[in-house]
Homo-oligomer: A and B are copies of this chain.
Amino acid sequence: MKFICEKSKLQEVISTAQKAVTGKSTMTILEGILLIARNDELTLIGSDIDLSVETKIQANILEEGSIVVDSKLFGELIKKLPNSEVQVNTIENNSLEILCEKSKAVLKYMNSDEFPMLPKINENMLLTIPQKILKNMIKGTIFATAQDEIRPILTGVKFEIDNGKLNLVALDGLRLALRSEPVENDNTISAVIPGKTLSEVSKILEDSEENVNITFTPNHILFNLGNTKIISRLLEGEFINYKSIIPDEYNLKITLKRNEFYDCIERASLMAKEGNTNLVKLDIQDDVMIITSDSQLGKAREELNVIMQGDPLKIAFNARFVIDVLKIMDEEEIILELTSSVSPCIVRNKNKDNCTYLVLPVRVMGY
Protein backbone atom coordinates (compact mmCIF):
# COMPACT_ATOMS: atom_id res chain seq x y z
CA MET A 1 0.00 0.00 0.00
CA LYS A 2 1.26 3.45 -0.86
CA PHE A 3 -0.56 6.77 -1.02
CA ILE A 4 0.04 10.51 -0.90
CA CYS A 5 -2.46 13.05 0.43
CA GLU A 6 -2.77 16.39 2.20
CA LYS A 7 -1.97 16.27 5.92
CA SER A 8 -4.99 18.39 6.90
CA LYS A 9 -7.46 16.20 4.99
CA LEU A 10 -5.95 13.02 6.41
CA GLN A 11 -6.14 14.47 9.93
CA GLU A 12 -9.83 15.24 9.42
CA VAL A 13 -10.85 11.74 8.30
CA ILE A 14 -8.80 10.10 11.05
CA SER A 15 -10.63 12.24 13.58
CA THR A 16 -14.00 11.16 12.11
CA ALA A 17 -13.16 7.44 12.04
CA GLN A 18 -11.78 7.68 15.60
CA LYS A 19 -15.27 8.50 16.89
CA ALA A 20 -16.04 4.77 16.68
CA VAL A 21 -12.77 3.71 18.33
CA THR A 22 -13.86 3.76 21.95
CA GLY A 23 -11.18 1.52 23.45
CA LYS A 24 -13.97 -0.37 25.21
CA SER A 25 -13.43 -3.57 23.24
CA THR A 26 -10.99 -6.21 24.39
CA MET A 27 -9.94 -6.92 20.79
CA THR A 28 -6.59 -5.20 20.03
CA ILE A 29 -7.52 -4.90 16.36
CA LEU A 30 -10.39 -2.56 17.33
CA GLU A 31 -7.90 -0.07 18.77
CA GLY A 32 -6.84 0.35 15.17
CA ILE A 33 -8.19 2.12 12.12
CA LEU A 34 -8.57 0.17 8.89
CA LEU A 35 -6.96 1.99 5.94
CA ILE A 36 -8.01 0.91 2.45
CA ALA A 37 -6.25 2.46 -0.54
CA ARG A 38 -8.11 1.75 -3.79
CA ASN A 39 -9.21 3.57 -6.98
CA ASP A 40 -7.90 7.03 -6.09
CA GLU A 41 -9.68 6.86 -2.77
CA LEU A 42 -8.46 6.30 0.74
CA THR A 43 -11.13 4.77 3.02
CA LEU A 44 -10.79 4.77 6.81
CA ILE A 45 -12.91 2.58 9.07
CA GLY A 46 -13.15 2.65 12.84
CA SER A 47 -15.37 0.28 14.79
CA ASP A 48 -16.26 -0.92 18.28
CA ILE A 49 -18.80 -3.47 16.94
CA ASP A 50 -21.79 -1.46 18.26
CA LEU A 51 -20.78 1.51 16.13
CA SER A 52 -18.79 1.69 12.90
CA VAL A 53 -17.69 4.76 11.00
CA GLU A 54 -16.48 4.59 7.40
CA THR A 55 -15.13 7.74 5.79
CA LYS A 56 -13.12 8.50 2.66
CA ILE A 57 -11.04 11.10 0.85
CA GLN A 58 -9.48 11.48 -2.56
CA ALA A 59 -5.82 10.47 -2.43
CA ASN A 60 -3.04 9.75 -4.87
CA ILE A 61 -2.93 5.95 -4.63
CA LEU A 62 0.45 4.69 -5.86
CA GLU A 63 -0.12 1.11 -4.72
CA GLU A 64 -3.42 -0.37 -3.63
CA GLY A 65 -3.73 -2.27 -0.36
CA SER A 66 -5.18 -2.27 3.12
CA ILE A 67 -3.77 -2.37 6.65
CA VAL A 68 -4.84 -1.60 10.24
CA VAL A 69 -2.85 0.94 12.25
CA ASP A 70 -3.13 2.00 15.90
CA SER A 71 -5.74 4.75 15.93
CA LYS A 72 -4.32 6.91 18.71
CA LEU A 73 -0.64 6.83 17.69
CA PHE A 74 -1.38 7.30 13.99
CA GLY A 75 -3.80 10.13 14.76
CA GLU A 76 -1.37 11.98 17.05
CA LEU A 77 1.48 11.57 14.59
CA ILE A 78 -0.46 12.94 11.61
CA LYS A 79 -1.76 15.82 13.76
CA LYS A 80 1.77 16.88 14.70
CA LEU A 81 3.11 16.82 11.13
CA PRO A 82 3.66 20.09 9.23
CA ASN A 83 0.87 21.22 6.88
CA SER A 84 2.16 19.55 3.78
CA GLU A 85 1.83 16.40 1.66
CA VAL A 86 2.12 13.12 3.55
CA GLN A 87 3.29 9.87 1.99
CA VAL A 88 2.21 6.65 3.69
CA ASN A 89 3.54 3.28 2.52
CA THR A 90 4.09 -0.22 3.83
CA ILE A 91 7.66 -1.51 4.18
CA GLU A 92 9.16 -4.81 5.33
CA ASN A 93 8.48 -6.29 8.81
CA ASN A 94 4.77 -5.34 8.90
CA SER A 95 5.78 -1.70 9.15
CA LEU A 96 4.19 1.46 7.88
CA GLU A 97 6.40 4.37 6.84
CA ILE A 98 5.08 7.92 7.09
CA LEU A 99 7.03 10.66 5.32
CA CYS A 100 6.36 14.39 5.45
CA GLU A 101 8.98 16.98 4.53
CA LYS A 102 12.02 16.01 6.63
CA SER A 103 10.04 13.85 9.07
CA LYS A 104 10.01 10.10 8.94
CA ALA A 105 8.14 7.74 11.24
CA VAL A 106 7.83 3.98 11.16
CA LEU A 107 4.94 2.16 12.88
CA LYS A 108 3.90 -1.47 13.14
CA TYR A 109 0.68 -2.29 11.31
CA MET A 110 -1.85 -5.09 11.84
CA ASN A 111 -3.33 -7.39 9.23
CA SER A 112 -6.55 -6.04 7.72
CA ASP A 113 -8.03 -9.57 7.48
CA GLU A 114 -8.49 -9.55 11.24
CA PHE A 115 -10.64 -6.41 11.18
CA PRO A 116 -14.33 -7.28 11.63
CA MET A 117 -16.52 -6.92 8.54
CA LEU A 118 -19.07 -4.13 8.58
CA PRO A 119 -22.68 -5.33 8.37
CA LYS A 120 -23.75 -5.33 4.72
CA ILE A 121 -26.58 -2.88 4.33
CA ASN A 122 -28.61 -2.36 1.22
CA GLU A 123 -29.17 1.37 1.32
CA ASN A 124 -32.75 2.34 0.64
CA MET A 125 -32.42 5.91 1.96
CA LEU A 126 -35.75 5.83 3.66
CA LEU A 127 -35.31 9.20 5.20
CA THR A 128 -33.50 12.41 4.28
CA ILE A 129 -33.02 15.24 6.76
CA PRO A 130 -30.57 18.16 7.12
CA GLN A 131 -27.66 17.25 9.43
CA LYS A 132 -28.19 20.34 11.55
CA ILE A 133 -31.80 19.42 12.33
CA LEU A 134 -30.99 15.81 13.22
CA LYS A 135 -28.06 16.96 15.39
CA ASN A 136 -30.43 19.26 17.27
CA MET A 137 -33.07 16.56 17.69
CA ILE A 138 -30.49 14.19 19.16
CA LYS A 139 -29.18 16.86 21.53
CA GLY A 140 -32.75 17.65 22.53
CA THR A 141 -33.61 14.09 23.59
CA ILE A 142 -30.48 12.15 24.50
CA PHE A 143 -30.17 13.73 27.96
CA ALA A 144 -33.40 11.99 29.02
CA THR A 145 -32.17 8.44 28.35
CA ALA A 146 -31.83 6.14 31.38
CA GLN A 147 -28.25 5.93 32.67
CA ASP A 148 -28.66 2.60 34.44
CA GLU A 149 -29.17 -0.73 32.70
CA ILE A 150 -32.23 -1.87 34.67
CA ARG A 151 -34.35 -1.56 31.52
CA PRO A 152 -31.75 -1.58 28.74
CA ILE A 153 -34.22 -0.36 26.10
CA LEU A 154 -34.51 2.96 27.97
CA THR A 155 -30.78 3.67 27.52
CA GLY A 156 -31.64 4.29 23.87
CA VAL A 157 -33.45 6.92 21.83
CA LYS A 158 -36.44 5.77 19.82
CA PHE A 159 -36.49 6.87 16.16
CA GLU A 160 -40.04 6.73 14.86
CA ILE A 161 -41.53 7.64 11.52
CA ASP A 162 -45.25 8.09 11.86
CA ASN A 163 -47.77 10.17 9.92
CA GLY A 164 -45.11 12.02 7.92
CA LYS A 165 -43.13 12.96 11.02
CA LEU A 166 -39.77 11.86 12.41
CA ASN A 167 -40.04 11.58 16.18
CA LEU A 168 -37.10 11.08 18.55
CA VAL A 169 -38.11 9.99 22.05
CA ALA A 170 -36.18 9.25 25.22
CA LEU A 171 -37.50 8.62 28.72
CA ASP A 172 -36.11 7.33 32.00
CA GLY A 173 -39.16 6.93 34.21
CA LEU A 174 -39.02 10.43 35.69
CA ARG A 175 -39.02 12.52 32.52
CA LEU A 176 -39.59 12.25 28.82
CA ALA A 177 -38.20 14.15 25.85
CA LEU A 178 -39.87 14.16 22.43
CA ARG A 179 -38.67 16.06 19.35
CA SER A 180 -40.56 16.01 16.04
CA GLU A 181 -39.85 17.21 12.52
CA PRO A 182 -41.93 16.77 9.35
CA VAL A 183 -40.35 14.42 6.78
CA GLU A 184 -41.40 13.30 3.35
CA ASN A 185 -42.13 9.69 4.12
CA ASP A 186 -45.35 7.72 4.48
CA ASN A 187 -43.92 4.59 6.10
CA THR A 188 -44.29 3.63 9.73
CA ILE A 189 -40.95 2.73 11.24
CA SER A 190 -39.60 2.34 14.74
CA ALA A 191 -36.07 1.62 15.95
CA VAL A 192 -34.21 2.25 19.20
CA ILE A 193 -30.59 3.42 18.96
CA PRO A 194 -28.19 3.12 21.93
CA GLY A 195 -27.63 6.52 23.56
CA LYS A 196 -23.86 6.02 23.66
CA THR A 197 -23.45 5.44 19.93
CA LEU A 198 -25.97 8.18 19.13
CA SER A 199 -23.85 10.62 21.11
CA GLU A 200 -20.89 9.84 18.79
CA VAL A 201 -23.18 10.17 15.75
CA SER A 202 -24.16 13.67 16.85
CA LYS A 203 -20.47 14.64 17.12
CA ILE A 204 -19.93 13.64 13.49
CA LEU A 205 -23.06 15.43 12.22
CA GLU A 206 -22.31 19.02 11.22
CA ASP A 207 -24.26 22.19 11.91
CA SER A 208 -25.05 22.39 8.21
CA GLU A 209 -27.98 22.25 5.81
CA GLU A 210 -26.35 19.26 4.06
CA ASN A 211 -28.53 16.20 4.17
CA VAL A 212 -28.03 12.92 5.94
CA ASN A 213 -29.73 9.85 4.47
CA ILE A 214 -30.96 7.28 6.92
CA THR A 215 -31.55 3.56 6.25
CA PHE A 216 -33.14 1.18 8.71
CA THR A 217 -32.59 -2.60 8.78
CA PRO A 218 -33.96 -5.03 11.38
CA ASN A 219 -30.75 -4.80 13.42
CA HIS A 220 -28.99 -1.61 12.28
CA ILE A 221 -29.38 2.01 11.37
CA LEU A 222 -27.15 3.60 8.74
CA PHE A 223 -26.48 7.34 8.55
CA ASN A 224 -25.02 8.33 5.18
CA LEU A 225 -23.43 11.79 5.11
CA GLY A 226 -21.93 11.47 1.63
CA ASN A 227 -18.27 10.79 2.32
CA THR A 228 -18.99 9.32 5.73
CA LYS A 229 -21.23 6.41 6.70
CA ILE A 230 -22.12 5.62 10.30
CA ILE A 231 -23.64 2.27 11.24
CA SER A 232 -25.06 1.61 14.69
CA ARG A 233 -26.66 -1.53 15.98
CA LEU A 234 -30.19 -1.21 17.38
CA LEU A 235 -31.39 -2.07 20.87
CA GLU A 236 -33.69 -5.07 21.06
CA GLY A 237 -36.98 -5.02 22.90
CA GLU A 238 -40.24 -3.16 23.11
CA PHE A 239 -40.09 0.60 23.84
CA ILE A 240 -42.66 2.03 26.23
CA ASN A 241 -45.84 3.33 24.57
CA TYR A 242 -44.81 6.89 25.23
CA LYS A 243 -47.90 8.48 23.74
CA SER A 244 -50.06 7.04 26.51
CA ILE A 245 -47.88 8.82 29.09
CA ILE A 246 -48.32 12.32 27.67
CA PRO A 247 -51.59 13.79 28.99
CA ASP A 248 -53.91 15.51 26.48
CA GLU A 249 -55.58 17.79 28.98
CA TYR A 250 -54.55 20.22 31.67
CA ASN A 251 -56.09 22.53 34.27
CA LEU A 252 -53.47 25.25 34.14
CA LYS A 253 -51.46 26.66 31.25
CA ILE A 254 -48.61 29.04 32.01
CA THR A 255 -46.74 31.15 29.49
CA LEU A 256 -43.34 32.41 30.61
CA LYS A 257 -39.85 33.47 29.52
CA ARG A 258 -37.50 30.50 29.36
CA ASN A 259 -34.34 32.39 30.40
CA GLU A 260 -35.96 34.03 33.40
CA PHE A 261 -37.42 30.72 34.59
CA TYR A 262 -34.05 29.01 34.05
CA ASP A 263 -32.15 31.62 36.10
CA CYS A 264 -34.66 31.45 38.97
CA ILE A 265 -34.57 27.64 39.13
CA GLU A 266 -30.77 27.68 38.95
CA ARG A 267 -30.50 30.04 41.92
CA ALA A 268 -33.12 28.19 43.93
CA SER A 269 -31.40 24.87 43.24
CA LEU A 270 -28.22 26.14 44.93
CA MET A 271 -30.04 25.92 48.26
CA ALA A 272 -31.58 22.56 47.38
CA LYS A 273 -28.50 20.50 46.69
CA GLU A 274 -28.21 19.08 50.17
CA GLY A 275 -28.90 15.34 50.29
CA ASN A 276 -29.43 15.34 46.52
CA THR A 277 -33.15 15.98 46.80
CA ASN A 278 -32.73 19.11 44.71
CA LEU A 279 -36.26 20.05 45.62
CA VAL A 280 -37.72 23.34 44.43
CA LYS A 281 -41.32 24.34 45.13
CA LEU A 282 -43.49 26.38 42.77
CA ASP A 283 -46.48 28.37 43.99
CA ILE A 284 -48.43 29.75 41.03
CA GLN A 285 -51.25 32.25 41.50
CA ASP A 286 -52.34 35.72 40.32
CA ASP A 287 -49.95 35.62 37.34
CA VAL A 288 -46.96 35.24 39.65
CA MET A 289 -44.83 32.15 40.19
CA ILE A 290 -43.02 32.00 43.54
CA ILE A 291 -40.13 29.53 43.54
CA THR A 292 -38.71 28.50 46.91
CA SER A 293 -36.14 26.09 48.24
CA ASP A 294 -35.05 25.35 51.76
CA SER A 295 -32.33 23.19 53.28
CA GLN A 296 -29.69 23.31 55.98
CA LEU A 297 -27.58 25.34 53.54
CA GLY A 298 -30.10 28.16 53.44
CA LYS A 299 -33.25 29.38 51.76
CA ALA A 300 -34.09 30.93 48.41
CA ARG A 301 -37.18 32.75 47.18
CA GLU A 302 -37.66 33.80 43.56
CA GLU A 303 -40.55 35.68 42.01
CA LEU A 304 -41.47 35.48 38.35
CA ASN A 305 -44.21 37.14 36.30
CA VAL A 306 -46.13 34.63 34.19
CA ILE A 307 -49.36 34.50 32.19
CA MET A 308 -51.81 32.05 33.76
CA GLN A 309 -54.79 30.37 32.13
CA GLY A 310 -56.53 28.19 34.68
CA ASP A 311 -56.46 27.46 38.39
CA PRO A 312 -53.73 28.34 40.93
CA LEU A 313 -51.43 25.43 41.75
CA LYS A 314 -48.61 24.39 44.06
CA ILE A 315 -46.17 21.82 42.74
CA ALA A 316 -42.60 20.68 43.50
CA PHE A 317 -39.83 19.36 41.22
CA ASN A 318 -36.33 17.98 41.21
CA ALA A 319 -34.60 21.15 39.95
CA ARG A 320 -32.15 19.21 37.82
CA PHE A 321 -34.86 17.75 35.61
CA VAL A 322 -36.36 21.17 34.98
CA ILE A 323 -32.91 22.68 34.30
CA ASP A 324 -32.03 19.88 31.83
CA VAL A 325 -35.14 20.71 29.78
CA LEU A 326 -34.85 24.51 29.90
CA LYS A 327 -31.18 24.35 28.95
CA ILE A 328 -31.74 22.62 25.60
CA MET A 329 -34.94 24.36 24.49
CA ASP A 330 -34.35 27.05 21.89
CA GLU A 331 -37.42 29.29 21.88
CA GLU A 332 -37.58 32.20 24.27
CA GLU A 333 -41.26 31.88 25.17
CA ILE A 334 -42.40 28.56 26.57
CA ILE A 335 -45.55 26.97 27.95
CA LEU A 336 -46.10 24.75 30.97
CA GLU A 337 -49.21 22.57 31.10
CA LEU A 338 -50.18 21.39 34.58
CA THR A 339 -53.06 19.43 36.06
CA SER A 340 -52.34 18.80 39.73
CA SER A 341 -49.44 18.68 42.15
CA VAL A 342 -49.03 14.94 41.49
CA SER A 343 -49.52 14.94 37.70
CA PRO A 344 -46.82 15.33 35.06
CA CYS A 345 -45.82 18.79 33.87
CA ILE A 346 -45.61 19.28 30.11
CA VAL A 347 -43.16 21.86 28.69
CA ARG A 348 -43.45 23.11 25.11
CA ASN A 349 -42.29 25.98 22.96
CA LYS A 350 -44.96 28.65 22.68
CA ASN A 351 -44.67 29.19 18.92
CA LYS A 352 -42.94 26.14 17.49
CA ASP A 353 -44.64 22.75 17.79
CA ASN A 354 -41.44 20.68 17.57
CA CYS A 355 -40.94 19.44 21.11
CA THR A 356 -42.76 18.00 24.09
CA TYR A 357 -41.02 17.56 27.43
CA LEU A 358 -42.55 15.85 30.41
CA VAL A 359 -41.25 16.10 33.98
CA LEU A 360 -42.79 14.23 36.90
CA PRO A 361 -43.31 16.31 40.04
CA VAL A 362 -42.07 15.34 43.50
CA ARG A 363 -44.77 14.72 46.11
CA VAL A 364 -44.27 16.94 49.13
CA MET A 365 -46.26 16.47 52.34
CA GLY A 366 -48.77 19.24 52.89
CA TYR A 367 -47.97 20.96 49.62
Contact = CB atoms under 8 A, between A and B. Distances in A.
A273 to B, nearest CB: 9
Nearest to A264: B103
A258 interface: no
List the number of copies, as a whole number: 2
Contact of A299 (B105, B267, B304): B105
Nearest to A76: B270
A108 B298 contact: yes
A267 B80 contact: yes
Interface in A268-323: 270-271, 296-304
A41 interface: no
A24 interface: no
A103 B266 CA distance: 11
A104 interface: yes
Given A105-B299, A108-B296, 5 more contacts: A70-B297, A76-B270, A105-B271, A106-B298, A106-B299
30 contacts: A73-B297, A73-B298, A77-B267, A80-B263, A80-B266, A80-B267, A80-B270, A81-B267, A82-B263, A95-B298, A102-B303, A102-B304, A103-B264, A103-B267, A103-B300, A103-B302, A104-B300, A104-B301, A104-B302, A105-B267, A105-B270, A105-B298, A105-B299, A105-B301, A106-B298, A106-B300, A107-B297, A107-B298, A108-B296, A108-B297
